[in-house]
């Protein structure tokens, strides 16, 4: 069990806190004042935080797509993440098709 409060599970962090922590980690790593074992520890934590931020952004983007496709009524529909989707489907988020649906 870890005693470091900052080592708590990243999935429990709100997006803003995760991003703030990630920026702090980047600053520390770029400073060049870390020992190798510290650098590896921060790299591992940063990787987990980066994945969390990316996941949360994708989920929010899909919620926005659902909102827009719902006839602009302003009702939020809960999007349930389907981890079984192919990467091709996820890449459609940034495609022209997805952008056109927002217009």
C-beta of residue 42 within 8 angstroms of C-beta of residue 28: yes
Report which DSSP code applies to 83: T
This prediction has a pTM of: 0.58
Residue 101 contacts residue 65 (beta carbons within 8 Å) = yes
In this structure, are residues 82 and 74 in contact, taking their beta carbons and an 8 Å threshold?
no
Q: Please, are residues 22 and 46 in contact by the beta-carbon 8 Å criterion?
A: yes
- What's the pLDDT tens digit per position in 3-35? 444 445 667 789 999 999 999 999 999 999 999
Q: What is the CA radius of gyration of the chain?
A: 18
Q: Which residue has the tokens 């809960």?
A: 78
Integer Cα distance of 92 and 77 in angstroms:
20
Gap between the Cα atoms of 79 and 91, Å rounded: 17
Per residue in 42-98, pLDDT tens?
999 999 999 999 999 999 898 888 777 766 665 666 666 665 444 444 444 444 444
């Amino acid at each position: 069990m870890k005693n470091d409060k900052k080592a708590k599970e990243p999935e429990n962090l709100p997006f803003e806190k995760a991003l703030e922590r990630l920026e702090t980690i980047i600053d520390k790593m770029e400073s060049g004042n870390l020992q190798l074992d510290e650098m590896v520890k921060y790299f591992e934590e940063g990787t987990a935080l980066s994945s969390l931020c990316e996941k949360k952004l994708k989920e929010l983007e899909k919620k926005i797509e659902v909102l827009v496709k719902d006839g602009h009524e302003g009702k939020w529909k809960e999007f349930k993440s389907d981890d079984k989707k192919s990467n091709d489907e996820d890449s459609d988020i940034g495609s022209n098709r997805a952008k056109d649906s927002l217009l």
